[in-house]
Amino acid sequence: MKNHRFKLKQILFIGILLGITTFFTTCELEHEILNDENALEPESSSLKSSAKNGCEILELSYVIETSTQYISDQEKFSDIDIAIMTPKNNKEKISIKLFENGQMAMTIEKLTPQKEIKISHKTGPDNSNQLYKTIIENNRASFYSKSGELLNSINMELPDNSETANRLLELKDSCYSEEKLNQAIAKLQGGRFTENMEDYVKNAKQNGAQIMEENERLITIRMSAGQLEPGLTDEIVVLLDKKLNRAGGTRIYNESGELLSNTLFGYGPPEKPFLTAIKQQVKETLPSGNDVTVESLSKIDNIKFKLNI
């Protein structure tokens, strides 16, 4: 068992620090639902049988509602600035599938937020066909109206995930028994990417990461994005919570040290500590020259993660 755990960690650290895979490739990764456990069982069974036929090996779905607001210390803005700073919200149901051959498919279905932000413009109606569903498969995105009419489709080149798929398929033999896979229901983030933060940090340092700051509770680690994807020059900083063994947030800086985006996470209560909120902050300079922070807060519901190998 001890040897088994060591093996798991090895796989994990290679994946994290060298960026070998891009998708779901750890034995520690949970493969079940988070917020709505009861709803999953029947779907899980059907997926299992389809996987045996060589279909999906992984499915992730969730409902995401994002509201966007603009924050600034300034009190006066030009009319154009205010037009840009229009608050907005939108809600979608997202389903992602990874197939055995590395192909990925994604469906984005538009939902109506409970309290929609809709400014009453006095202009004439927009009679154009509105997007209801987007289906991405075979490197093509197709857009559909609510009546199911195909509005348009475009090439959408996505990275090949066959290596990920292969690794996932290998996991079954190298890490988990099917029984263990089925039992492994856990949180999306907590207690996963590390069971031992000290080891994690130690290994991160050995792989080129730099500890920026550390106190009793939190630690920030910096790494060049080039270590994950060759050619990238950005710097990534992550904030880790040592007490709860999870990430609190991430930041990306460009090579000039300018902060590009700041992403913060929110989790559920201790008894159900799943990822439930993503807050993104991006600094923007408006046409007037005023600086503003664009803040998007995403509410994640009904997240279901099904590994079907």
User: Is there binding between residue 252 and another protein (CB under 8 A)?
Assistant: yes
Given the complex with another protein, which of 38 and 128 has the nearer CB atom?
A: 128
Given the complex with another protein, which of 51 and 136 has the nearer CB atom?
A: 136
Structure tokens at 142: 């197709």
Mutual orientation of helices 2-18 and 197-206 as an angle, nearest 10°?
50
How many Cβ atoms sit within 10 Å of the Cβ of residue 36? Answer: 11
User: Is there binding between residue 35 and another protein (CB under 8 A)?
Assistant: no
User: Is there binding between residue 55 and another protein (CB under 8 A)?
Assistant: no
**CB neighbour burial string for 288-305, b if at least 16 within 10 angstroms, e if fewer:** bebebebbbbbbbeebbb
Report the nearest approach of another protein to the CB of residue 52 (Å).
23
Given the complex with another protein, which of 44 and 193 has the nearer CB atom?
A: 193
User: Quick one: which of 11, 9, 3, 22 has its CA closest to 194?
Assistant: 9
Binding mask 166-205 toward another protein (x if CB under 8 A, else -) reads ----------------------xx--xx------------
User: Is there binding between residue 274 and another protein (CB under 8 A)?
Assistant: no
In the window 134-153, what residues touch another protein (CB under 8 A)? 134, 136, 141, 143, 151-152
CA distances from residue 39 to 44, 45, 52, 180 in whole angstroms, order as listed:
9, 12, 22, 20
Q: Where are the beta strands (DSSP E) in 177-286?
A: 210-214, 218-224, 235-241, 246-253, 259-267, 275-285
User: Is there binding between residue 230 and another protein (CB under 8 A)?
Assistant: no
Round to whole Å and give the CA distance between 44 and 25.
19
The correct pick among 63, 172, 244, 290 for binding another protein (CB under 8 A) is 244
Cα 159-161-163 angle, rounded to 5 deg: 130
Report the nearest approach of another protein to the CB of residue 230 (Å).
11
Given the complex with another protein, which of 53 and 97 has the nearer CB atom?
A: 97
How many Cβ atoms sit within 10 Å of the Cβ of residue 92? Answer: 16
User: Is there binding between residue 251 and another protein (CB under 8 A)?
Assistant: yes
Report the nearest approach of another protein to the CB of residue 239 (Å).
6
Given the complex with another protein, which of 53 and 79 has the nearer CB atom?
A: 79
**Looking at this protein, which amino acid is placed at residue 290?**
N
User: Is there binding between residue 111 and another protein (CB under 8 A)?
Assistant: no
CA distances from residue 139 to 102, 109, 264 in whole angstroms, order as listed:
12, 18, 30
Given the complex with another protein, which of 43 and 92 has the nearer CB atom?
A: 92
User: Is there binding between residue 122 and another protein (CB under 8 A)?
Assistant: yes
The correct pick among 9, 24, 171, 176 for binding another protein (CB under 8 A) is 24
DSSP 301: E
Report the nearest approach of another protein to the CB of residue 304 (Å).
12
User: Is there binding between residue 262 and another protein (CB under 8 A)?
Assistant: yes
Instruction: List Cβ neighbours of 112 (8 Å cut-off, separation of 6 or more).
Output: 91
Given the complex with another protein, which of 40 and 53 has the nearer CB atom?
A: 40
In the window 203-222, what residues touch another protein (CB under 8 A)? 213, 217-218, 220
Binding mask 64-83 toward another protein (x if CB under 8 A, else -) reads xx-xxx--------xxx-xx
